Amino acid sequence: MKQLFVTFFLTIIFIACMNVQPALALEENIPVFIDGLPVSLDVPPAMQNGRILVPFRAIAEALNVEVNWDGKTQKISAAAGEDRIELTIGSKTAYHNLTPILLDVGPQIIDGRTLIPLRFFGTALGCTVNWVENSREVQISSPPTKMYVTAFYALGDSRTSSWTDLFGLPYPESAKGNTDIVGTLSLGWYSLDKDGNLLTESSTGWKRPEGWENVLLAAEKYALETEMVIHVTDADGTISSLLASEEAMNRAIAAIIKEAEMYGGVNLNFEGLGLSQRGEKLSAVQDKFTFFVTMLSGQLRKIEKDLTLTVHPLNSEYKGYDYGGLAQAAGRIIIMAYDYGPKPEPINLVRQAVEAAKSYVPSEKLLLGISIPYETPVSIAPKIGLAKRYNLGGIALWRLGVISGETWDVLRLMVQKK
C-alpha cells in the first residue's frame, strides 16, 4: 500500500512538472530592429522552448501601438487603428479583434515587464518578423503606413527623366507607373529675383520645361496633387534683398498668387538663410522670412490653396528658420535632412533633425525630406522608418528621375499614399 502511494505521488509530481513552462533564459545580446532602427529595451529578450520573447510595451510603442495594463486581471490590451489585441499573463490564448490566436508560449512578466512571443507581432499586427541567426538579431518590418508622399519633379535628361520615372513610359506617353506611391508632385519650375519678379528660368538651373501643361494633365489623370515650387538661394543675397523690400515682397506674392491658380498649392523653397548671422541679426533674418511666409499664406488661403515650406533642418549650418513661427502659417514643412557630408546621410543626424523639428511643429505637419541620389535601397529604409516611428505626416523625395526600381520596391513595402 505504501509503495502504491509513493508511485501515485511521484506520478502526480511528474504530471505537474510536465505542465510547468521551462524557465526563461534571458538573452542579453539580442538587439531588436524595427524598420532598420534599433529599439531601446528596458529588459532583454528571452528564450523559451526555442521561442524568442520580447518586451511587449517597448516593441508596441515603437510601432505606435497604444498599450494598457490591467493589474487585477493580468491582461494587456493594445490598439492600433482598428485593430484590438488582448493577452493574459500565463495564457497561451491571445485575441486579435476577438478572434483567438494560440501562442506557442504564453506572455510572462520579468522585472515588471511583460514579454510575449516575437511571432505574435507578425500574426496580430501584420509585421514581417525575422530572426537573423548569423548576427543573432531580431528584424521587424512594420506594415505599410498611410502617409503623404511628395516627389519633386525637375528637369532631367533622357536617362533621369522625371516623367518616365513617375509615369513609366517615355514622354509624352503615360501609364500608372509609380503613381500608386506618389501623392503630390512638387514641380520645380520657378524662382524669384531680388525685385520679386517670378521667373520660369533661373541661374540655379530651375526651369519650367516645354510641354509643362502635359505634366499637369497627366497629374490630374492619375489623381496626383500638384504644387508649384519656388526655389531661391541666398548665395548671392537674392533672398536677403527680396525680404528687405516691402515692394519686392508684395510683387512676389502677387505673382505667386496669380500663377498658383493652376496648382493645388505652393511650395516655397528658400535656401541658405542664416549662415553667417548670430544673435539679434539672426533673429531679424528669421523674423523677415516668417513675415513673408505669413503674408503669402494669408493670400493663399483666400484662394483656398495650401502652402508647403521646404527648409533646412535645425541641425544644419543655416539657422534662419523659426520653425515654430513658420508652423503657424504653413500647412506642411519639409525637413531637408540631408547634405550633412557623409553619404548615405547619417541616421543619427536625420533623427536629430526630426526630433528638433517635432519640438516646434506638430508631427502631422512634418514631412521628412530624403535626397535619393545619396541613398541606397538599404539606407533609405531607416529614414522612412523614422517618419513612421515619429508619426510624421509623410516623406518628400528629391527627386523623380533618379529613383531606382529597388528603391520603389522599398517604398511600396513601407508606405501607402494618403
As a whole number of angstroms, the distance between CA 169 and CA 94 comes to 49
Per-residue pLDDT band for 16 (boundaries 50, 70, 90) equals very low
Neighbouring-strand partners of residue 146:
416
**Residues linked to residue 94 through DSSP beta bridges, in sequence order:** 101
- Residues 358, 390: Cα–Cα separation, whole Å: 9
Query: What pLDDT is recorded for position 8?
Result: 35
Residue 305 CA to residue 405 CA, distance in Å, equals 33
Q: Are 310 and 334 in contact (CB under 8 A)?
A: yes
User: Mean pLDDT in the chain?
Assistant: 91
d(CA 258, CA 253): 9
Domain 145-417 has CATH 3.20.20.80: yes
Highest mean pLDDT among 41-45, 101-105, 127-131, 269-273: 269-273
By C-alpha distance, which of 345, 256, 340 is closest to 298? 256
Q: What is the pLDDT of residue 14?
A: 35
Asked if residues 314 and 270 have their Cβ atoms less than 8 Å apart, the reply is no
Q: Would you state the pLDDT for residue 28?
A: 62
The pLDDT assigned to 25 comes to: 56
Alpha-carbon Rg of the chain, whole angstroms?
27
Task: Say whether pLDDT at 372 is over 90.
Answer: yes
CA distance 305 to 120: 45
The fold adopted by the segment(s) 22-141 is Copper Amine Oxidase; Chain A, domain 1 (3.30.457)
Residue 319 has phi, psi (to 5 degrees) of -105, 15
pLDDT tens-digit map of 223-275:
999 999 999 999 999 999 999 999 999 999 999 999 999 999 999 999 999 99
- Rounded Cα distance between 343 and 102, Å, is 45
- Beta strands per DSSP E along 27-172: 32-34, 37-38, 46-48, 51-55, 66-70, 75-80, 83-88, 93-96, 99-102, 108-110, 113-117, 128-132, 137-141, 145-153
Residue 3: what pLDDT?
A: 47
- Cβ 127 vs Cβ 367: under 8 Å: no
pLDDT at 23 over 80: no
CA distances from 327 to 324, 386, 400 (A): 5, 20, 27
* Residue 413 pLDDT > 60: yes
| pLDDT digit string, tens, across residues 220-230 | 999 999 999 99
Instruction: At 292, list the grid cell.
Output: 513673408
Q: Which residue has the cell 524662382?
A: 191
Strand partners, 184: 150, 225
Within 13 A of 14's CA, how many CA atoms are on the CB side?
6
Q: Which long-range contacts (CB under 8 A, 24 or more apart) does 235-241 make?
A: 235/272, 237/194, 238/192, 238/193, 238/194, 239/270, 239/272, 239/273, 239/289, 240/285, 241/194
Mean pLDDT value across residues 6-33:
50
pLDDT band at 13 (very low <50, low <70, confident <90, very high): very low
C-alpha span between 144 and 37 (Å, rounded): 16
Q: What is the DSSP string of 180-198?
A: TT--EEEEEEEEE-TT--E
pLDDT in tens, 63-96: 999 899 998 999 999 888 788 889 999 899 999 9
pLDDT at 285: 98
CA angle 284, 288, 293 (to 5 degrees): 145
What does the pLDDT read at residue 125?
Answer: 85
Q: Please indicate whether residue 48 or residue 36 has the higher confidence score (pLDDT).
A: 36
313-318 mean pLDDT: 98
Domain coordinates in residue numbering, the chain: 22-141, 145-417
Q: What is the dihedral of CA 147, 152, 158, 159, to 10 degrees?
A: -60
